[in-house]
Amino acid sequence: MGAPPGSEAVRGEWYELASYQREQWQAVPGVGPVRAEALLAFFSHPEVQRMAAQLNQAGLLVFNGSITNQAR
């Protein structure tokens, strides 16, 4: 599951990125108003939130743009 372009410029845990506000996204180099809106829409989409919750429940975390297994 990948986010729209612009998110790769930011490192952080999935839920941290999902909590970003428009102004925080626009402060990221290369992210303007249109990309910030796309990122907000992506992270707030119910299906994306559902999949992230399922991955978290399965012991997988989305971290720094990749999925890592908590069980290691």
Read off the pLDDT of residues 1-54 as tens digits, 9 standing for 90 and up. 566 666 666 777 778 888 999 999 999 888 999 999 999 999 999 998 898 888
CB-CB contact of 45 with 1 (8 Å): no
pLDDT at 46: 94
Q: pTM above the 0.75 mark?
A: no
CATH-assigned architecture of domain 7-62? Orthogonal Bundle (1.10)
Q: How many other β-carbons are positioned within 10 Å of the β-carbon of residue 36?
A: 21
pLDDT at 72: 42
